[in-house]
Amino acid sequence: MYKKNNRDNQNKDFKKKKRARKDDMFMYGNALGVKVVDGNLEAALRLLKRTVKDSGMMDILRDKKEYTKPTTLRRKQREDAQRKEYIRRINEG
């Protein structure tokens, strides 16, 4: 008889993990909360990072870290608008 290779034995013992769906990890009533399903901490952490990034919470916290004067905010908005208009004109023609 021929000898089975190691790979065949490994494939028998290997069970495919069921992938947790995003809906299963979502915590209702807690906007930034995430549940760990089947001990899959990596997937829950990825989802948490994505939800925090998409919510804009980190940007708000970064902005509120120090006080910015209203004139500084207006100047920044004006500069951003000028830059945006400049880029639009370059791309247009």
Alpha carbon 2 to its chain centroid, in Å, reads 50
Per-residue pLDDT reduced to its tens digit, 31-83: 888 888 888 889 899 999 999 999 999 999 998 999 999 999 999 999 999 99
For the chain, what percentages of helix, strand and coil (3-state, to nearest 5) are there? 60, 0, 35
| pTM, rounded to two decimals | 0.54
Number of residues in the chain: 93
Q: What are phi and psi of 26, to 5 degrees?
A: -75, 135
* Interval 15-20 mean pLDDT: 66
Residue 3 has pLDDT above 60, yes or no: no
Q: Indicate the pLDDT class of residue 12, thresholds 50, 70 and 90.
A: low
Which pair of structure tokens corresponds to residue 34?
A: 């995430």
Q: What are phi and psi of 29, to 5 degrees?
A: 90, -10
* Interval 80-89 mean pLDDT: 97
pLDDT at 80: 97
